[in-house]
Structure formats: structure tokens, C-alpha cells
Amino acid sequence: MDILKVEDLQKSYVSPETKENFKAVDGISFCLNEIQIYGILGPNGAGKTTTLEMIEGLTDIDGGCATVDGVDVSSDPYAVKQIIGVQLQSNEYFDSLSLEELLKLFGKLYGNETNAKALLEKVDLVEKIHAKPEELSGGQKQRFSIACALVNEPKVLFLDEPTTGLDPQAKHNLWDLIKELNQSGMTIMLTTHNMEEAETLCHNVAIMNKGKIIAEGKPDDLIEKYDTSEDEKGNLENVFLYLTGKELFD
């Protein structure tokens, strides 16, 4: 069953260089099944983050539509925000509050009594319950941002480049957390530049370039179809370069 559906989604901006309109997202369509991890891959400027922001109700939709669990994002963005969790690329917190206090504060915004300790246990940060965000490492901050996104027990969790800038150990710890959340029944949509991440985590991926989806499917199927290298196993990075490389480097 589809829990998220996007049809002909469009977003335009005025280019600061040319002063002309350009389509950041140019009529894309896709669906997510329940309890699926779906990844959007693409170079900088491909439209990945803009796509997520429209689905999350953070950016107005210029054309097309998006629905989450049957709720239309444009007509009822507040209802959508009640059933999704959003982990952004960067977050700012009240520096004077501890992790426990912040989680309880975010919970009250949804009208919930948040069990901060249980959430921090889920992201392996319970020993930091009285710490402030500035005292956390990069990987710990990313895990805490996911804990914040879970305060309303979302049906769909959005992760925007969740492991960017993390060391290998922190990255793998976050991958384990994402897998655990998915195995517990959560649908997850993420953007990433990391092809290994997409292969490891995602059931399906879409590759975007210049606002359009240029390929979509299971990672193994895309590798079989598009990897023209002589590597014995093949990988998603070869697929990505094959589909976007000429346009990126011309």
C-alpha cells in the first residue's frame, strides 16, 4: 500500500545569475510503500532537498501534488506535519536546555507527553540525557536530531543527507539506527550523496539530475541495467556516473 504519493511535482525559482525562472523540480512522480526505505540520489542542485521540503510542507508546491497517508500536503499541511518526522541538514537548539528538556519541549508542541529517556535509549544517547547539544559530537548530534524527529511517533521519517560530515564509525552507527527504525515499522525517505549508503539502506532509489528523475528502481536492478563497467559485482556509483557524468562534467 502506498503511504506517500507524488504526482508531477514542480517547483520554480528565479536564477540569481540570469534573473530567469528555472525549474528546481521539474514534474517528478513516485510512490513509497509502507515500511520502505526510499532514497533520492543526485548531485548538488539536482532538486533533492527541494523535493523533500515540498512533501514536508516546508516549501510551497508550484505544480502537481503530494499526499502522505492520504492527506494532501497543499490543502492540509498541518495535518501532514502531525504524521511525519523531519531531520534537517542542520539544526539550532536552545543552548541552555538539556537533551531531556528539549525533547519534552518538542513533544509539547505536538501535545504529547514525551518519554525523553526512551527516545534517547532508541538513538543510543541515554547517557547524555542531561547534556546540552553543544557538548555532543557530530554523530551524536545527528542521532539527537533523529530523536527530535521521533517525538510525535511519525508514520514517515524524512532524513536529508543524514551522514554528511560523519566519520566512518558514526556513519555506520547511524545506518544501524535507520535500519532499526525501519524494522520497527517506520517508512523512511532520505536524500544522500553516498552511493554505499543508498545500496546499504534503500529498498528503492530515484536518481535525480536537473530537477528530473532519470532512473528509479531497486539498487540491484539499476546496477544490472546501467553499470557498464568491468567490475565483477558492479555498484551504484558506476550507475550514477553513467547516468549523470556527461552532463556533470561537460
Concatenating the DSSP letter of every residue in 160-174 gives: ESTTTT--HHHHHHH
pLDDT of residue 15: 81
Q: What is the DSSP letter of 157?
A: E
User: Average pLDDT of 139-165?
Assistant: 92
Return the SS3 of 123: coil
Domain spans, the chain: 2-249
User: Average pLDDT of 186-212?
Assistant: 95
Concatenating the DSSP letter of every residue in 77-111 gives: HHHHHHHEEEE-SS----TTS-HHHHHHHHHHHTT
Give the predicted TM-score (pTM) of the model.
Answer: 0.91
> pLDDT tens digit string along 51-81?
999 999 999 999 999 999 999 999 999 999 9
Q: List Cβ neighbours of 179 (8 Å cut-off, separation of 6 or more).
A: 201
In the chain, the amino acid numbered 58 is: L
| CATH number of the domain located at residue range(s) 2-249 in this protein | 3.40.50.300
Nearest to 59 by CA among 158, 192, 148: 158
